[in-house]
Structures are given as C-alpha cells and as structure tokens.
Structure 1
C-alpha cells in the first residue's frame, strides 16, 4: 500500500497516520482489552512508533503498569495500545482505521481468556498468551 495508513476517533478530534506497513495485525481475547474496548475481543494493527504521527490535542492516556491505552478526550473512542515491555511499538484498534477492511488479522492472542461463546473458526494461529514476543524472547 503506497498511501499512508490513516485513522481517527469517532468525532474527528484525534487523527493519526503511519508511513510504513503494519508489522502486526491480530485479535486479542484478554480481559483487559475487553474492558478497555467494551467488546468481547479486540483487533489491533501494529506499527513502529517512529512511523506514526498523531494530530489533535484531545488524545488522552490511561497508564496501568507498562501498558498505556489512548483514547479521545472528546468522544471517548479507544484509539491505541502501547506496552513498554515490547519496545517502541503502537497498536491501533482496527475499528479506528479509516479502511479497516484492508487489515486482516493473522493470529489470535490470549485465547485462554477467550469467551466461551466466541467462535472464530478461521484457521489462524492461536496463542495462549501474547502474540508479540518480548525483546527477551518471552511471551509473558
């Protein structure tokens, strides 16, 4: 894709773009993502942080240990996720991408926390814990 990858919140107060291809597209079934999004699972599109620019002064952050979740301070739309344990990467929620159909998830993470009524027989790899190894090689 030659055009930048773009997205934003529901009201338009926060916009972002990435200049490079995503390095990661996946589903997450963890309880933390469910609570942060209000959905039974989340889907993310990951970029290196230095490839991303964010516009709009309304971006707010919630930090919980090494995890930072961003959201629009006007409309409350969840925007992104970052984890200090995995380096300078940012993961945007698939639903805030301008063209979400372009980003097909390639795997599932935290399937041990998957809700019992969620059935996704897509044949994708399923990880008991994270789908993104930490720099030390662990998946904690």
Structure 2
C-alpha cells in the first residue's frame, strides 16, 4: 500500500464512516475474550491507524471498560472498533467496518494462548501468547 491510497470504512446503515490517507500501522487477529464478546465471533480481525490519520463522518457510540473504549453505531449496532489506553494515539477498526476488508490481511495472531481450541487458522503468521505490541 502506498501513503496516497484512501482507506475507508462505514457501518451497515452508513451513518458512521471513517477514512484515512495514511497506511495502516497493523493488521491482526485477536483471540482475547473481550474481542470475542464484542464481536460475537470466535476471533476478531482488525486494522489499526494512527488517530490523527482518521477523519470521521458521524459520531460513534462508545462503551468503556478496563482501559478499552469500544465503538459502535447507535443506529444499526455495527461494531466499529476500539481504542486501548495501552496504545495511545491509535485506533483499531474491525475488518467488518472496512469497505474493502480484503485489502487488510492480518499479519499476526494476538492472544494465541486464548484461541478457542476448535478454531484452526492454517497460516504461517507469527503467534503471540498475549499482547502483540510491546509497549
């Protein structure tokens, strides 16, 4: 990806959108319980951007717990993403929120130690027992 590419995302109803002209900082799978609870799926896939690189259309609703703020559309309920106090200045958007999720293949697995035993993703990506970003 080059820095001039426009990266866009939107919720199901289109009331909330985001765009960035800067490349993502991370594309990842997360197997932690919080991400599973938030998505309702056995694993979350997301793409991260620097907060200053994102421009928002509309204002997402948020829910905060344990140092993480999760966002969603208050109209259609679509999950948008999250901010983590341990990663200041960064926003992680759900791949389902992205308009072209196929452009953001995950490059690693975080919290592999918490992966559900029946979930098998056959890839050669790095796998971290916990947090994938050393801070």
Q: CA deviation at 1:130?
A: 0.9
User: Normalising by structure 2, what TM-score?
Assistant: 0.95
Contact kept? 1:86, 1:133, Cα under 8 Å: no
Runs (4+) of structure 1 exceeding 3 A deviation are: none
Within a 5 Å distance, the mapping from 1:70-89 to structure 2 comes to 70-89=71-90
Match among 6, 9, 21 for residue 4 of structure 1: 6
Q: CA deviation at 1:3?
A: 2.8
Contact kept? 2:5, 2:23, Cα under 8 Å: no
Q: SS of the counterpart of 2:92? A: strand
> Which residue in the other structure is 2:22 paired with?
20
> Which residue in the other structure is 1:113 paired with?
114
Q: SS of the counterpart of 1:25? A: strand
User: Normalising by structure 1, what TM-score?
Assistant: 0.92
Q: SS of the counterpart of 2:86? A: helix
How many residue pairs were aligned? 133
